[in-house]
């Protein structure tokens, strides 16, 4: 195919740069807005094409040098080659464009992105892929578009320093591990009280392998607990150390001690704890809760928001479909001596229907759904007659869809605040306030 020359206009959700060739939209990985590039077309679709960069004729002034030596090969980060202010600008633009297309939300209702204090070294949870073939141990991330492991020999620049320390120790221990060829993944979580590691492997775990890992417990550096999960085991097996990982969330009153929240090994928690605290402050600001209000926290997880917010409202009901997360939520409720929360383990749509059938109503609903959004729950949510909805989203397209659905029930977007939970990537977290007309 012949080469085409184009200037990259903007960035798209998914990470690619966008330009036009012969009037057709073209998506270009690892390009930067303002780049003048020569392109090799890699695929032609009816309404768009994709291309790879053959050469950068005139680099954008937004370009910067990536900190990771395997950036571009590793399938993790997308935007390390773009300076941070430009990343923030384009994330806001993506959210604004998506909300306008999907729900006709005016761009002036979208705030600037709340930046992260640290653009690297921020992730407190990571899953590293493992491959041990022909005596060579590789620990890192899948290459772009493949299941081949790109070896992150020097660690991951966006990982918290403690995670990289533990990863280096794991690498040394696994080099002589009897079942090294069966290991597929390392999950490493760093909390306020330590670092937990889960070794995932295929097949059964032999007694020889258990003895090896237990015997090398002193060689895992700052790791405070080691677990193993084989694909023939239903549960994660503890080998040694602590079973608890915890972090803190602030109360509205700065004179009160923060709440301490835990989650189980392998359980869900936000990957960027500093921005998790920021997100709670945004929820507080938009929600403007009062002591007489009754709050529903849908997709509540381990009580990440329910527990600190309980002190500001009359009552909280939390609904979560994952039983492990609900057990953690109940534990966190007792740990922090919170009396005005009720947690229920149920699918969101089913749990909402139950509340509707009981004749319950709520002043406010806080929802933090997975990427698929809250579509199945929308009709039930509005039947609870909340005056305001605070929607935490990790996917602009499903947020836009749900805001469009909610507008049909009389709820309008008042303000949307994007928060940069994932610097160096295209991912966008946001908190959106909708109020009933």
Question: What percent of the chain is predicted at pLDDT more than 70?
Answer: 100
Confidence of residue 1 (pLDDT cuts 50, 70, 90): low
Q: Tell me what pLDDT residue 2 has.
A: 67
Joined together, the tokens standing for residue 78 give 């997308």
Res 243 pLDDT > 80: yes
Domains of the chain: 3-63 (2.40.50.140), 89-117+272-436 (3.40.50.150), 125-245 (2.40.50.1070)
Taking only Cα atoms into account, the Rg of the chain, rounded to an integer number of angstroms, comes to 23
* 223: annotated active-site residue: no
Across 321-331, average pLDDT: 96
Q: Tell me what pLDDT residue 134 has.
A: 78
Q: Tell me what pLDDT residue 235 has.
A: 87
With a threshold of 0.85, does the pTM exceed it?
Answer: yes
**pLDDT, tens digit (0-9, with 9 covering 90-100), for 366-409:** 999 999 999 999 999 999 999 999 999 999 999 999 999 999 99
**pLDDT, tens digit (0-9, with 9 covering 90-100), for 62-86:** 999 999 999 999 989 999 999 999 9
Q: Pick the catalytic residue from 169, 300, 394, 403.
A: 394
Q: Tell me what pLDDT residue 168 has.
A: 97
Across 228-245, average pLDDT: 90
Cβ–Cβ < 8 Å for 280, 222: no
Question: What's the CA gap between 47 and 114, in Å, rounded?
Answer: 34
- Contacts of residue 349, Cβ cutoff 8 Å, sequence gap at least 6: 376, 377, 380
Q: Tell me what pLDDT residue 75 has.
A: 86
Residue found by looking up tokens 């303002």 in the block: 34
Cβ–Cβ < 8 Å for 115, 129: no
**pLDDT, tens digit (0-9, with 9 covering 90-100), for 18-69:** 999 989 999 999 999 999 999 999 999 999 999 999 999 999 999 999 999 9
């Amino acid at each position: 195919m012949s080469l085409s020359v184009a200037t990259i206009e903007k960035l798209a959700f998914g990470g690619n740069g966008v330009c036009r060739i012969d009037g057709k939209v073209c998506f270009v990985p690892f390009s930067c807005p303002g780049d003048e590039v020569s392109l090799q077309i890699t695929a032609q679709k009816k309404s768009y094409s994709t291309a790879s960069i053959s050469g950068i004729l005139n680099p954008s002034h937004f370009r910067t040098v990536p900190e990771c030596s395997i950036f571009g090969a590793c399938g993790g980060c997308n935007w390390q080659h773009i300076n941070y202010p430009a990343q923030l600008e384009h994330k806001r633009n993506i959210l604004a464009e998506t909300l306008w297309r999907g729900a006709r939300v005016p761009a002036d209702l979208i705030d600037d992105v709340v930046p992260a204090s640290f653009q690297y070294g921020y992730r407190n949870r990571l899953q590293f892929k493992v491959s041990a073939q022909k005596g060579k141990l590789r620990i890192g991330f899948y290459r772009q578009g493949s299941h081949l492991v790109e070896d992150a020999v020097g660690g991951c620049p966006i990982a918290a320093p403690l995670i990289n320390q533990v990863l280096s120790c794991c690498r040394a221990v696994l080099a002589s591990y009897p079942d090294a060829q069966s290991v597929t993944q390392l999950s490493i979580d760093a909390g306020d009280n330590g670092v937990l590691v889960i070794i995932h492997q295929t097949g059964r775990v032999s007694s020889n392998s258990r003895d090896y890992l237990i015997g090398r417990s002193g060689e895992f550096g700052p790791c405070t607990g080691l677990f193993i999960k084989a694909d023939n085991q239903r549960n994660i097996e503890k080998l040694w150390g602590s079973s608890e990982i915890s972090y803190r969330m602030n109360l509205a009153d700065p004179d009160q001690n923060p709440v301490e929240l835990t989650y189980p090994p392998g359980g869900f928690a936000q990957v960027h704890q500093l921005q998790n605290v920021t997100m709670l402050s945004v929820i507080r600001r938009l929600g403007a809760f009062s002591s007489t209000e009754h709050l529903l926290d849908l997709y509540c997880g381990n009580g990440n928001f329910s527990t600190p917010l309980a002190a500001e409202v009359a009552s909280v009901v939390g609904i979560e479909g994952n039983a492990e997360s609900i057990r953690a939520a109940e534990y966190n409720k007792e740990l922090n001596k919170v009396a005005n929360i009720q947690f229920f383990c149920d699918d969101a749509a089913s749990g909402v229907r139950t509340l509707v059938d009981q004749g319950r109503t709520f002043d406010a609903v806080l929802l933090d759904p997975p990427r698929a959004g809250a579509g199945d729950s929308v009709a039930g949510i509005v039947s609870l007659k909340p005056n305001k909805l605070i929607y935490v989203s990790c996917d602009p397209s499903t947020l836009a869809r749900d805001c469009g659905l909610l507008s049909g029930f009389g709820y309008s977007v008042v303000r949307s605040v994007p928060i940069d939970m994932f610097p160096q990537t295209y991912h966008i977290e946001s908190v959106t306030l909708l109020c009933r007309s």
